[in-house]
């Protein structure tokens, strides 16, 4: 099985936001969505890098789609909320949200001024805050006839390296397994588990109130990105070289799987069966079961509620 641009449906008249869209998998996803006609917002912190990426995208050819910069800083959930509010002022619809940006290796990971682990803030808490800010607009969009609104969290198989007992405490959000390569991957994996649980619980809540939004989590595969380069820098050079040549694929490959989750025709066709609701996808666009922890409804509910509590606490400061 393989997937290509032809597996994506027509996105003319649709609006999308891709976080971390100026490089790697995010860049490839932005390109694919825009080429199918979408108006895509590239969520990125640095204006210069974002505008350079947009120029490169235009040079590669966007057909009649378009790409626009949205200033987005995920290091602070309050800034993520501000970015979401800015988008709400700009647009009257939002069909696709791809939470792609992430901090990976190398560490070290530290607590920020709010007492939160920096990688958990970037990878989960800020994306959660952004999603909550944009959700009312996406719900309104989903009420239109023939709507196909989707929220996609980009995750990783590293989520299977951890199995937390609970997500009811701040300590479980701030867990830091250590500085070795394996332990850093576990700390990263805890944030990627949070990405999957977020989509599981959000899908449950949306379905309970009959909201026609599809939430998915996607592992894009082993992709050559700045994040994977950081990982390879931590291992012996011969191992790094072998990984790059034999295991890490170009960003476009990862972008195709993410773009399928965001706009694949098959997801629309399967909508009555609801097979993709809260689903976990791996290359090439296959539905598989994530780890047992990622399927734990109690953990998903705990994570969701504790994240809401954390964000509410930040807003009161």
Please state, in angstroms and as integers, the Cα–Cα distance from residue 57 to each residue in 46, 208, 230, following that order.
Answer: 16, 39, 25
Give the list of residues 6+ apart from residue 191 with CB closer than 8 angstroms, or none.
Answer: 102, 119, 120, 122, 123, 124
Cβ(41)–Cβ(120) under 8 Å? no
Please state, in angstroms and as integers, the Cα–Cα distance from residue 237 to each residue in 71, 89, 138, 242, following that order.
Answer: 36, 48, 46, 9
Cβ-in-10-Å burial (0-12, 13-18, 19+) of 64 comes to exposed
Answer left, alpha or beta for residue 236, where phi above 0 means left and psi between -120 and 50 means alpha: beta
Tell me the angle at which helices 24-35 and 47-60 cross, rounded to the nearest 10 degrees: 50
SS3 271: helix
Give the list of residues 6+ apart from residue 118 with CB closer than 8 angstroms, or none.
Answer: 75, 103, 109, 110, 111, 112
CA separation for the pair 40, 34 (Å, rounded): 6
Nearest to 254 by CA among 71, 20, 10, 15: 20
Which among 177, 188, 276, 280 is annotated as catalytic? 188
Q: Indicate if 188 belongs to the active site.
A: yes
Catalytic sites, residue numbers: 188
């Amino acid at each position: 099985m393989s997937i290509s641009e032809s597996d994506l449906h027509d996105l003319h008249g649709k609006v999308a936001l891709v976080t971390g869209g100026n490089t790697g998998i995010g860049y490839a996803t932005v390109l694919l969505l825009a080429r199918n006609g979408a108006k895509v917002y590239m969520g990125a912190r640095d204006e210069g890098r974002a505008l350079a990426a947009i120029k490169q995208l235009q040079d590669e050819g966007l057909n009649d789609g378009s790409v626009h910069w949205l200033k987005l800083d995920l290091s602070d959930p309050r800034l993520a909320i501000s970015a979401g509010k800015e988008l709400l002022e700009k647009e009257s619809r939002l069909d696709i949200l791809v939470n792609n940006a992430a901090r990976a290796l190398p560490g070290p990971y530290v607590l920020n001024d709010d007492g939160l682990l920096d990688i958990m803030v970037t990878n989960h808490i800020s994306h959660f805050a952004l999603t909550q800010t944009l959700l009312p607009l996406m719900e309104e969009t989903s009420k239109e006839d023939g709507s196909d609104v989707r929220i996609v969290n980009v995750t990783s198989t590293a989520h299977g390296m951890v199995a937390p007992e609970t997500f009811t405490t701040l300590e479980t959000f701030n867990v830091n397994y250590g500085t070795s390569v394996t332990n850093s991957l576990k700390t990263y994996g805890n944030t990627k588990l949070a990405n999957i649980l977020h989509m599981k619980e959000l899908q449950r809540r949306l379905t309970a109130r009959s909201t026609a939004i599809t939430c998915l989590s996607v592992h894009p595969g082993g992709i050559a990105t700045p994040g994977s380069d950081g990982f390879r820098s931590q291992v012996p050079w011969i191992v790094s070289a072998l990984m790059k040549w034999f295991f890490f694929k170009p960003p476009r490959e990862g972008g195709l799987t993410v773009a399928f989750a965001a706009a694949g025709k098959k997801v629309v066709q399967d909508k009555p069966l609801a097979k993709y609701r809260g689903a976990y996808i791996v290359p090439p666009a296959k539905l598989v079961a994530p780890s047992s922890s990622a399927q734990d409804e109690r953990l998903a509910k705990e994570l969701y509620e504790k994240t809401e509590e954390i964000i509410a606490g930040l807003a009161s400061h």
